[in-house]
């Protein structure tokens, strides 16, 4: 129970949504949840992590590889494809415990009788280049079956084509499709091998192979008999030039792809599946979060975790997680602040190795951030709002089209969302606090932090009359209000950056003095620590109004029209019109796109009283459109923080079900923005664990201040803190912490009653607390 999503009919209108809902992946590639007979029109895609291409002057985006699992079956001349023949019965499902997709479809066939097809497939978590599928066919009347299977080289592109010189050939029993990317000339190779069940049922050798540019298909036929079950297995492998760079001894992408499918066929489907299953078991053992008492929430939370696990970069510190995961080329496959602020917490608590990869990606892309700062005439590092492989900013100056005129609109996401550099620093420091691994500072982390602090020092404006530093002309998380002054969120994060920059210096001097000396030398011309200290002392960060306790989102926000959201919606002329920008409906009003001040209150929750947090929740909640999928989870978190978990519960469910229901914005202007929502998936985890279970960790002491929503009797999960593993059970009356026997370090826990208890290896702590009303 609770590990499967499925549907039992075929609805053409859900093809795109199901492509997201039934996503598979392993961090190296994403495989959309399409049916086997689907092609590019149905958005079939094998999206490659970290492989980008630009075609002509269009937007740069990730590369989709040819689909090596493509298959279509015919019976008595009738195509058994849901696109052409209405099925008698159809089920599509995803078992997300073992990451296996299944479909079973029954068709009526000409001449009478029925054919039932089943297909099972997985993107191997054990061998990241490998996809595998297992098929069965069964008929109720003898019939002539034709199977067309191989590699579909017609890939779905939004701004393509990206694969040039597409060719295909047979190679050692396998089919091979090759191409090179246009911009970087990277080879991309997909190999496929089909193995038929019983020799007497049909011989693959009889297959006719048709090669057409990047498409390579075999056609073979069977005189199928009633009652027989016909089976075949498919193996597909993908390699690119990035995988083989610097290691010519291992062979070219073509050779590696062919070797991989040959080896897979020799190993056999069952063993490959078992290895995949074991890897998933291991991943879940580190990340499963059990909710007792609420099955709906349980399913949605596990599913959200699944979505995070299929896109986590396990194998590379050169890629991070794009805003739409590996579900296609939407948003240019770019990495936003979503990663550090919404996804990183899950990995920090469950798989610090992945968290390190995510942060190393920012270190690897520091040069891009330096160049962006220089391009605008600033010092330091201004990270890309939309970051790809090099760290150059993929965000354009005209990022949205006006639906009324069709003309590009000037947006300031790229120029003014300076908080991105602070988000990166925040993420890095969180990584250090959670893991204790400060070696990352010497591995480039310190440079990132100091360059970001430098950028802010340069960006800030010192008002000599008010004698303070201000951050003018910025855009906070709420993108509907661009180019504002003193956005509270941005200022608070810049303040944190400056503190971290100073702490970094202390830490390096203390633990890595040689690295400190060399680095400090390169920053000697300043601005450096003296300037950071001065700015920190005088930086203006908007504070709660003494009477209303509301923190104004930015200067003059409260002068804007205070229109109710429902009324603003009535002013909408076109369903996809953009609410921000120069003429946007929300621009002149207090309606915000997404959590802004409330996000700041969550991040710095220990600095503000419960009254302040509640006043701001109540003020901003009715004024938030939740036009971004990054919003709901923050309201759920903040409600838990003030001890009112049920206020936030609908927001929790909304964030946790976003990729199950497919209910999210699909267009901004005329730009398609559908796909999966990893930030919302990470947000669901944050709301459940950091919000409802009430876990926080400052690097030394873990606190548990739960506020369980009605109906939840307990939350149970494993966590890793500073390399030590614990199992936490947070019930309504008691909290139990069990430390793994193999832990090397003891970590302190604080119960609701305020007592601090050291939890040595193997210990079991019972932490009593009096009430589940936090902050009361
Ligand atoms: C949000 C940003 C977010 C981006 C990618 C936008 O709609 O406003 O905060 O980073 O989507 O998810």
Of the ranges 5-9, 516-520, 769-773, which one carries the lowest mean pLDDT score? Answer: 769-773
What separation in Å is there between the alpha carbon of 514 and the centre of ligand 1?
40
Q: Examine the domain organization and report whether 255 and 377 are in the same domain.
A: no
Q: What is the DSSP letter of 209?
A: E
Does residue 381 sit in helix, strand or coil? coil
Ligand 1 neighbour 357 (Cβ under 6 A): no
Both tokens of residue 167?
């060719």
Answer with the one of 658, 692, 726 that is the final residue of a domain.
Answer: 692
Inter-residue contact 639 to 654 (CB < 8 Å): no
What separation in Å is there between the alpha carbon of 672 and the centre of ligand 1?
13
* pLDDT for residue 642 is more than 60: yes
* pLDDT for residue 755 is more than 80: no
Q: Examine the domain organization and report whether 273 and 313 are in the same domain.
A: no
Nearest CA to ligand 1 atom 12: 323
Q: Which residues contact 763 (CB under 8 A, 6 or more apart)?
A: 737, 738, 739
Nearest CA to ligand 1 atom 7: 628
Tell me, what's the pLDDT at 772?
A: 43
Question: pTM, whole model, 2 decimals?
Answer: 0.97
Does residue 716 sit in helix, strand or coil? strand
**pLDDT tens digits along 672-723:** 788 999 999 999 999 999 999 999 999 999 999 999 999 999 999 999 999 9
Alpha-carbon distance of 139 to 162, in angstroms, equals 41
Q: Examine the domain organization and report whether 215 and 305 are in the same domain.
A: no
When pLDDT is cut at 50, 70 and 90, the band that residue 666 belongs to is confident
Residue 80 falls in which region: left (phi positive, over 0), alpha (psi -120 to 50) or beta: beta
Tell me, what's the pLDDT at 757?
A: 87
* Total Cβ atoms within 10 A of residue 472: 15
CA distances from 114 to 85, 88, 122 (A): 12, 9, 27
Write down the residue that tokens 């139990």 correspond to. Answer: 736
Instruction: With respect to residue 274, please indicate whether it lies within any of the assigned structural domains.
Output: yes
Q: Examine the domain organization and report whether 145 and 49 are in the same domain.
A: yes
Express as a percent the part of the chain with pLDDT over 90.
91
Q: Examine the domain organization and report whether 122 and 271 are in the same domain.
A: yes
CATH number at residue 104: 2.70.98.40
How many residues comprise the chain?
776
Q: Examine the domain organization and report whether 443 and 523 are in the same domain.
A: yes
**pLDDT tens digits along 89-115:** 999 999 999 999 999 999 999 999 999
Both tokens of residue 312?
């986590």
Alpha-carbon distance of 160 to 179, in angstroms, equals 14
Q: What range does the domain containing 764 cover?
A: 702-768
Instruction: With respect to residue 149, please indicate whether it lies within any of the assigned structural domains.
Output: yes
Tell me, what's the pLDDT at 115?
A: 98
By C-alpha distance, which of 696, 701, 535, 720 is closest to 604? Answer: 696
**pLDDT tens digits along 65-79:** 999 999 999 999 999
Ligand 1 neighbour 477 (Cβ under 6 A): yes
Active site residue 282: no
- For CA atoms 668, 672, 674, 679, give the dihedral sign: negative
Q: Examine the domain organization and report whether 484 and 548 are in the same domain.
A: yes
What separation in Å is there between the alpha carbon of 630 and the centre of ligand 1?
7
Instruction: With respect to residue 773, please indicate whether it lies within any of the assigned structural domains.
Output: no
**pLDDT tens digits along 475-494:** 999 999 999 999 999 999 99
**pLDDT tens digits along 170-229:** 998 999 999 999 999 999 999 999 999 865 555 555 689 999 999 999 998 999 999 999
CA 747 to chain centroid, in Å, comes to: 30
* pLDDT for residue 771 is more than 70: no
Number of domains in the chain: 3
* pLDDT for residue 770 is more than 90: no
Answer with the one of 662, 692, 722 that is the final residue of a domain.
Answer: 692
What separation in Å is there between the alpha carbon of 554 and the centre of ligand 1?
19
Tell me, what's the pLDDT at 445?
A: 98
Nearest CA to ligand 1 atom 1: 628
Q: Examine the domain organization and report whether 238 and 365 are in the same domain.
A: no
Write down the residue that tokens 């306790």 correspond to. Answer: 549
Ligand 1 neighbour 336 (Cβ under 6 A): yes
When pLDDT is cut at 50, 70 and 90, the band that residue 671 belongs to is confident
Q: Examine the domain organization and report whether 520 and 623 are in the same domain.
A: yes
Q: Examine the domain organization and report whether 581 and 709 are in the same domain.
A: no
When pLDDT is cut at 50, 70 and 90, the band that residue 775 belongs to is very low
**pLDDT tens digits along 369-404:** 999 999 999 999 999 999 999 999 999 999 999 999
* pLDDT for residue 146 is more than 70: yes
Q: Examine the domain organization and report whether 346 and 198 are in the same domain.
A: no
Tell me, what's the pLDDT at 776?
A: 42
Write down the residue that tokens 């661009």 correspond to. Answer: 482
When pLDDT is cut at 50, 70 and 90, the band that residue 663 belongs to is confident
Catalytic residue among 386, 451, 470, 479: 479
Q: Examine the domain organization and report whether 295 and 281 are in the same domain.
A: no
**pLDDT tens digits along 256-305:** 999 999 999 999 999 999 999 999 999 999 999 999 999 999 999 999 99
Tell me, what's the pLDDT at 200?
A: 54
Do the strands 701-704 and 747-750 form a parallel or antiparallel pair, or are they unpaired? parallel
Alpha-carbon distance of 724 to 758, in angstroms, equals 13
Instruction: With respect to residue 567, please indicate whether it lies within any of the assigned structural domains.
Output: yes
* pLDDT for residue 631 is more than 70: yes
Instruction: With respect to residue 697, please indicate whether it lies within any of the assigned structural domains.
Output: no
Which atom of ligand 1 is nearest to 477's Cα?
9
Tell me, what's the pLDDT at 203?
A: 53
Write down the residue that tokens 């959309």 correspond to. Answer: 32
Ligand 1 neighbour 400 (Cβ under 6 A): no
Answer with the one of 692, 726, 749 that is the final residue of a domain.
Answer: 692
Q: H or E element: which one contains 77?
A: none
Mean pLDDT of the chain: 95
* pLDDT for residue 8 is more than 80: yes
Ligand 1 neighbour 325 (Cβ under 6 A): no
């Amino acid at each position: 129970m609770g590990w499967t999503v499925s549907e039992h009919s075929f609805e053409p209108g859900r093809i795109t949504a199901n492509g997201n809902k039934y996503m598979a992946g392993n961090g190296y590639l994403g495989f959309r949840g399409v049916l086997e007979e689907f092609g590019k029109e149905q958005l079939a895609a094998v999206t490659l992590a970290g492989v980008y291409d630009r075609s002509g002057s269009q937007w740069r985006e990730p590369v989709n590889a040819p689909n090596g699992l493509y298959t279509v079956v015919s019976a008595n001349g009738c195509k058994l494809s849901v696109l052409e023949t209405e099925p008698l019965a159809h089920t599509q499902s995803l078992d997300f415990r073992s990451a296996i997709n299944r479909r079973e479809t029954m068709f009526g066939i000409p001449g009478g009788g029925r054919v039932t097809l089943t297909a099972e497939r997985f993107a191997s978590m054990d061998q990241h280049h490998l996809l595998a599928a297992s098929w069965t066919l069964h008929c109720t009347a003898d019939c002539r079956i034709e199977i067309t299977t191989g590699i579909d080289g017609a890939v779905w592109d939004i701004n393509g084509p990206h694969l040039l010189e597409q060719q295909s050939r047979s190679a050692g029993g396998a089919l091979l499709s090759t191409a090179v990317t246009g911009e970087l000339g990277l080879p991309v190779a997909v190999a496929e091998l089909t193995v038929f069940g019983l020799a007497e049922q049909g011989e693959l050798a009889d297959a006719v192979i048709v090669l057409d540019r990047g498409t390579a298909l075999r056609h073979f036929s069977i005189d199928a008999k009633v009652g027989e079950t016909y089976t075949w297995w498919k193996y597909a492998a993908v390699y690119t030039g990035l995988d083989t760079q610097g290691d010519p001894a291992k062979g070219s992408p073509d050779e590696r792809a062919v070797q991989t499918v040959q080896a897979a066929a020799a190993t056999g489907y069952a063993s490959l599946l078992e290895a995949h299953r074991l890897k998933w078991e291991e991943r879940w053992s580190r990340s499963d979060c059990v909710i007792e008492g609420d099955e709906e929430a349980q399913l949605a939370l596990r599913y959200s975790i699944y979505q995070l696990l299929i896109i986590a970069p396990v194998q590379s510190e050169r890629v991070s997680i794009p805003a739409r995961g590996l579900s296609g080329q939407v948003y240019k496959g770019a990495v936003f602040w979503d990663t550090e602020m919404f996804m990183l917490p899950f990995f920090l608590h469950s798989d610090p190795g992945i968290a390190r990869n995510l942060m190393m990606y920012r270190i690897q892309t520091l040069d891009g951030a330096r160049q962006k700062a220089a391009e605008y005439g600033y010092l330091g590092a201004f990270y890309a709002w939309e970051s790809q492989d090099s760290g150059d900013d993929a965000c354009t100056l005209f990022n949205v089209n006006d639906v009324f005129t069709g003309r590009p609109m000037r947006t300031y996401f790229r120029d003014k969302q300076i908080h991105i550099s602070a988000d990166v620093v925040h993420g890095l420091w969180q990584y250090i606090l959670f893991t204790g691994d400060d070696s990352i500072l010497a591995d480039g982390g310190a440079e990132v932090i100091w360059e970001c602090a430098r950028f802010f020092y340069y960006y800030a404006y010192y008002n000599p009359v008010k004698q303070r530093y201000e951050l003018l002309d910025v855009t906070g998380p709420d993108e509907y209000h661009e180019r504002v002054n003193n956005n509270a969120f941005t200022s608070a994060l810049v303040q944190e950056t400056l503190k971290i920059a100073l702490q970094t210096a202390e830490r390096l001097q203390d633990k890595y003095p040689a690295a400190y000396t060399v680095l400090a030398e390169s920053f000697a011309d300043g601005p450096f620590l003296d300037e950071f200290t001065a700015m920190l002392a005088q930086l203006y960060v908007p504070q709660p109004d003494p009477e209303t306790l509301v923190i104004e989102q930015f200067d003059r926000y409260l002068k804007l029209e205070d229109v109710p959201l429902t009324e603003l919606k009535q002013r909408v002329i076109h369903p996809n019109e953009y609410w921000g920008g120069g003429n946007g409906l929300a621009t002149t009003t207090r309606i915000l796109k997404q959590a802004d001040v409330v996000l700041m209150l969550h991040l710095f929750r220990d600095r503000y009283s419960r009254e302040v947090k509640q006043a701001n929740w109540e003020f901003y909640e009715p004024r938030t459109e939740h036009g971004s999928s990054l919003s709901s989870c923050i309201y759920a978190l903040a409600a838990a923080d003030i001890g009112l978990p049920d206020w936030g519960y609908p927001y929790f469910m909304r964030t946790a079900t976003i990729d199950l229901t497919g209910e999210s914005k699909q267009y901004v202007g005329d730009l398609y923005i559908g796909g999966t929502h990893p930030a919302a998936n990470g947000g669901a985890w944050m709301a459940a664990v950091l919000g409802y279970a009430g876990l926080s960790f400052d690097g030394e002491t873990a606190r548990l201040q739960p506020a369980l929503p009605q109906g939840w009797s307990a939350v149970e999960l494993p966590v890793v803190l500073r390399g030590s593993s614990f199992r936490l059970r947070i019930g309504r009356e008691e909290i139990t912490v069990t430390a793994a026997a193999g832990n090397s370090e003891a970590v302190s826990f604080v119960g609701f009653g305020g007592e601090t208890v050291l939890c040595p290896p193997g210990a079991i702590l019972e932490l009593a607390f009096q009430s589940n009303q936090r902050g009361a």
